[in-house]
Amino acid sequence: MLDTLVRHTNMVRLSIGAVLVTLAVGCTGLIDGGNTSGTPEERAAKDAWINKALPRLVESCTACHSGQQANIDFLTGAGDMEIRDRIITYTPGVVNFDAPQSSRLVTKGPHNGPSFTVEQASDILDWLNAEKAAIPDPGDTGPTLITAKFSPQFCTSGDPGTATCPINTVDLAPLGVVGAKITFVAQALSSGLYLNNLSVEGATDGIYIELPLFTSYLESGTVVVDNIDRFFSVKMNLMANVKEQIAGGTAAFVGFGAGLNDKLEIRFKAVKAYQPDTGSGSGSGGGGGGGCKQLALFKTTAAGPLVANCASCHAGGANANAKSAMNIDGAGAADDATALLACNQVRTRINFIDTNLSGFFVAPNPGDPTNHMFKFGGNQANFNDFKAAVDPWVQAEKTSP
């Protein structure tokens, strides 16, 4: 079921590409006739391409992406606008005007080539947003799918919901669904921002969300876009008064502001009331999607250290909060069916982009200032041993088809 969902999302991704092809053909004719033709938005898009995006691509990316290798030649072209036409029509898609921040171009990050610097990424995004604005409005002006910017309150100690550990609530009513909200606890990491208890819930209308994207607006004026498309597969469809975690309920955002005056914003591809026609009524938290694929390895490597260090709170009946955050009942079971449930649970906390940022590594790490109840008694070496024991399974899940 989850597998199908993920594959379905990939198809959605492709079909977004296909839509872009059509739009692009429609646009180019208008834009090409010199800088005085086209709508003001189209002229702004052209200007942003030539003066912002293209120079950035030329300085860091064309060396490898303009014809050297056939399947990645999205920057090939005789002139400035020819390159633009190619990049926006390229398949598999590297730009996504529906959600510019999730464009492959922006999210690719370090690979054989470099990742964009923050300044470069912001120029690229300016262009993508300008192109997005230039796409003719199909007529129905839907609700704005961007929350207001807000300053999260930080948890410094204690349990969520207490005075020192407030639960942040993002009201989705302004986006069209009364009573729906996203809630989370925010903590400052040395490397950025850590969210846990990240959930979505609806009221009587339920809630449907697709592809939440987080952006951080630092007090300094810098804008940091979540540069990994971690929630790309997130599509959640919840019936009335149901609350469910998003992608395992934890997310570490490297580079995000975690100061009192830094702000957050969440944008969505879709926010609607519960959609009865799409079936089951349960949601998918997504985030790498799918159940445990390496059960045998889980049982021989990860299960032992999880049971030894974590089961006292995360299994059985000792700590309801711990269990609702991550339930590893049966992790040590010999029979596959029982162990699989625990394996599935832990797997939803894997951060497949950077496995070091997986919830079960961040929460108990004495080196990360989270308020998690158990930090190996402050003993970094013991945590490192735990991580080293669990990691082979994590890496195997990551590379499993």
CB of 134 to ligand HEC, least distance (A): 21
Residues whose CB is less than 8 angstroms from the CB of residue 42 and which lie 6 or more positions away in sequence, other chains included: 27, 30, 31, 134
CB of 138 to ligand HEC, least distance (A): 27
CA distance 257 to 273: 31
Residues 275, 277, 283, 285, CA torsion sign: negative
CB of 308 to ligand HEC, least distance (A): 8
CA distance 233 to 221: 30
Please state whether 290 falls in left (phi above 0), alpha (psi between -120 and 50) or beta: left
CB of 55 to ligand HEC, least distance (A): 12
CB of 107 to ligand HEC, least distance (A): 8
CB of 323 to ligand HEC, least distance (A): 8
What b/e readout covers 343-364, taking b as 16+ CB neighbours within 10 angstroms? bbbbbbbbbbbebebbbbbbbb
Question: Which parts of this chain interact with ligand HEC (CB under 6 A)?
Answer: 60-61, 63-65, 72, 94, 104-105, 108, 111-114, 116, 160, 185, 196-197, 250, 309-310, 312-314, 319, 321-322, 325-326, 349, 359-360, 363-364, 370, 372-374, 386
User: Nearer to ligand HEC by C-beta: 181 or 349?
Assistant: 349
CA distance 27 to 22: 9
CB of 197 to ligand HEC, least distance (A): 5
User: Nearer to ligand HEC by C-beta: 196 or 237?
Assistant: 196
User: Nearer to ligand HEC by C-beta: 284 or 358?
Assistant: 358
User: Nearer to ligand HEC by C-beta: 217 or 232?
Assistant: 232
CA distances from 77 to 66, 106, 131, 334 (A): 8, 20, 19, 59
CA distance 389 to 395: 11
CA distance 172 to 200: 10
CA distances from 327 to 89, 305, 323 (A): 45, 15, 5
CB of 70 to ligand HEC, least distance (A): 11
- Give residue number: closest CB to ligand HEC: 113
* Contact predicate 298/343, CB 8 Å: yes
CB of 178 to ligand HEC, least distance (A): 27
User: Nearer to ligand HEC by C-beta: 30 or 353?
Assistant: 353
CB of 40 to ligand HEC, least distance (A): 28
**Unique residue bearing structure tokens 């940022």:** 357
User: Nearer to ligand HEC by C-beta: 275 or 356?
Assistant: 356
Nearest partner of 129 among 230, 223, 18, 60, judged by Cα: 223
User: Nearer to ligand HEC by C-beta: 1 or 308?
Assistant: 308
Rg (CA), the chain: 22
Nearest partner of 57 among 16, 97, 114, 135, judged by Cα: 114
User: Nearer to ligand HEC by C-beta: 96 or 147?
Assistant: 96
User: Nearer to ligand HEC by C-beta: 60 or 153?
Assistant: 60
Tokens representing residue 41 in the block: 């938005």
User: Nearer to ligand HEC by C-beta: 41 or 73?
Assistant: 73
